[in-house]
Amino acid sequence: MKKTQTSKKYPTAKRLFLFTSFLVILVSLSYGLYQTYAALTDSDQMQNEFRLGDFQTSIEEEFDPPMSFEPEKEYLKKVSIKNTGEQESFIRVLALPVLTKKQPGGSLTLLPATVDGTAPVLSIDYNLNDWINGKDGYFYYKKKLTKGESTPNLFTKVKMNQANITEEYVGARLSFEVKAEGVSTTKFAYRDAWWNGEIPINNPALEIDDQLKNQTINE
């Protein structure tokens, strides 16, 4: 009888394992499709990531995405961040330009939208007086942001460089994916949030740390 009872458990366990594996694969596929959809959308994506409960930010921007993004023409694009929380915070922003082109079948193709290097596709007038380029995709505001205060614009204009593009860019559309993070000004919450608690030893992270460390407060 014991042998018979034991043998009945194995098919059930096997089916449970296969079902669980199927769910994991299904979730993975769904996540991959979502990521692909998010990457191909041609509208501005604005999202806030709140590191701590009361440290909230909102993205303020002025931008009218052109139907056709013409080279050598400057387009107005203003991005700033407002502290909508109850306490002061340190801010960093990810503002990723996205160039897409609609294909005859209706699908969208992502085109390179470089802003660095020897032949950048785009020129953006980043405000490096008030912000530091972290070279990690983020720009870091040099000061702490008090309740209700807004940062100066991260940038105001964007242009596509004729000399650095090919004919595939004809009819391209421009959008931006923007993400902002607000972090507590207590010692040293920004290091914990941005650098896993480590003290930077190399620029530009060292420069950012030098700007912020003397503005922190004790808990």
- From first to last of its 219 residues, the chain has per-residue pLDDT tens of 444 444 444 444 444 433 333 334 333 333 333 333 333 333 344 443 333 344 578 888 887 777 778 999 999 999 999 999 889 999 999 999 999 998 888 899 999 999 999 999 999 999 999 999 999 999 999 999 999 999 999 999 999 999 999 999 998 999 889 999 999 999 999 999 999 999 999 999 999 999 999 999 987
Considering the domain architecture, whether residues 65 and 48 belong to the same structural domain is answered as yes
Considering the domain architecture, whether residues 81 and 1 belong to the same structural domain is answered as no
Considering the domain architecture, whether residues 76 and 159 belong to the same structural domain is answered as yes
pLDDT at 76: 93
pTM: 0.74
pLDDT at 32: 38
Considering the domain architecture, whether residues 73 and 20 belong to the same structural domain is answered as no
pLDDT at 86: 87
Range of the domain at 2: 1-40
Considering the domain architecture, whether residues 188 and 101 belong to the same structural domain is answered as yes
pLDDT at 158: 95
Considering the domain architecture, whether residues 87 and 158 belong to the same structural domain is answered as yes
Q: Count of domains in the chain?
A: 2
pLDDT at 92: 96
Residue 25 is encoded by which pair of tokens? 């694969």
pLDDT at 188: 94
Considering the domain architecture, whether residues 13 and 77 belong to the same structural domain is answered as no
pLDDT at 55: 59
SS3 sequence, the chain?
A: CHHHHHHHHHHHHHHHHHHHHHHHHHHHHHHHHHHHHHHHCCCCEEEEEECCCCCCEEEEEEECCCCCCCECCCEEEEEEEEECCCCCEEEEEEEEEEEEEECCCCCEEEECCCCCCCCCCEEECCCCCCEEECCCCEEEECCCECCCCECCCCCCEEEECHHHCCHHHCCCEEEEEEEEEEEECECCHHHHHHHCCCCCCCCCHHHHHHHHHHHCECC
pLDDT at 58: 87
Considering the domain architecture, whether residues 85 and 14 belong to the same structural domain is answered as no
Considering the domain architecture, whether residues 80 and 181 belong to the same structural domain is answered as yes
pLDDT at 211: 97
Considering the domain architecture, whether residues 8 and 103 belong to the same structural domain is answered as no
